[in-house]
Amino acid sequence: MIEVLFFIAAAVALISAAMTVTAHNAVHGLLYLVVTMLAISLIFFLLGSPFAAALQVIVYAGAIMVLFIFVTMMLHQGEKSLLEEKQLFQISGSIGAFLLSAVLLVELVYVLAGFASPQLINGSEGYFTIQTITVKELGIQLYGPYQLLVVIAAMMLLSALISAIHIARRQKNPMQADEEGDQTL
């Protein structure tokens, strides 16, 4: 039964990924991208990795939504952009994303109700259960041999955030700043 659920989640991931690329509206493309990430998360869960599934939801699906909201707020340009944002999202264009999400929800409820057990994975020696890993062990694995890479990734994200804020900041007219007395030497 796990195999059938896996193929359903994989089909949802492929369909929503194709819809992400072909969407004409940025908001609808984002919705399909979030559905893709949720489907991948369910695949991780079905394969017996609930921690990777949770990270997929938190980091990718959650971070994408926060990033989109951040960019929308950062690029806010007054009353004109409010009217454009209201016209940007239409329910009729996102029905497909809602239906694909409903398929994933039904699948997840089926698994969590106990009809299918993702804790049993077919290995080379038969069935075995998942070995759980503590947060301390995960931290040792991440910050042990990969400590430098984690720090470099954090610095790259920080520099991207500072660059985005700098680009989005409105430049004052040098003549206007001189008249207001804000210009410093």
In this predicted structure, what is the pLDDT of residue 115?
Answer: 62
Residues 121 and 95 in one domain: yes
Q: How many other C-beta atoms lie within 10 A of the C-beta of residue 125?
A: 6
Q: What is the pLDDT of residue 76?
A: 60
Judgement on whether residues 180 and 90 belong to the same structural domain of the protein: no
Task: Let me know whether 99 and 18 are in one domain.
Answer: yes
Name the average pLDDT for the chain: 75
User: 107 and 5 in contact (C-beta within 8 Å)?
Assistant: yes
Q: Which residues, at least 6 apart from 151, have a Cβ–Cβ distance to it below 8 Å?
A: none
Same domain, 128 and 138: no
Q: Scan for tokens 């991931």, then name that residue.
A: 13
Copy the structure tokens of residue 171.
Answer: 């430049």
Q: Which residue range forms the structural domain that includes residue 70?
A: 2-132
Co-location of 15 and 53 in the same domain: yes
- Give the count of domains, the chain: 2
CB 42 within 8 A of CB 108: yes
C-beta separation of 98 from 19 below 8 A:
no
pLDDT for residue 180: 53
**pTM for the full model?**
0.61
Instruction: Indicate the SS3 state at residue 128.
Output: strand
The rounded distance, in Å, linking the Cα atoms of 129 and 146 is 28
Give pLDDT tens digits for 65-96.
777 767 766 666 566 666 666 666 667 767 88
Retrieve residue 179's tokens. 């008249």
- Please tell me whether residues 126 and 140 are part of one structural domain: no
Q: What is the pLDDT of residue 94?
A: 72
pLDDT of residue 4: 86
- Whole-Å CA distances, 20 to 33, 37, 53, 122, 129: 6, 11, 21, 33, 36
Q: How far apart are CA 67 and CA 74, in angstroms?
A: 10
What is the tens place of the pLDDT at every residue in 5-60? Answer: 889 999 999 999 999 899 877 777 888 888 999 999 998 888 877 777 888 888 88
Residues 65 and 145 in one domain: no
**Computed from CA positions of residues 99, 105, 109, 111, in that sequence, does the dihedral angle turn out positive or negative?**
positive
Report the sign of the C-alpha dihedral through residues 129, 135, 136, 137, in that order: positive
Average pLDDT over residues 109-137: 60
Higher per-residue pLDDT: 173 or 44: 44
Instruction: Specify the pLDDT at position 89.
Output: 62
Q: Are 174 and 183 in contact (CB under 8 A)?
A: yes
Between 3-17, 62-76, 111-125, 129-143, the lowest mean confidence (pLDDT) is in 111-125
- pLDDT of amino acid 90: 65
Question: Does the pLDDT at position 128 exceed 50?
Answer: no
Is there a contact between 29 and 20 (Cβ–Cβ < 8 Å)? yes
Question: Do 51 and 13 fall into the same domain?
Answer: yes
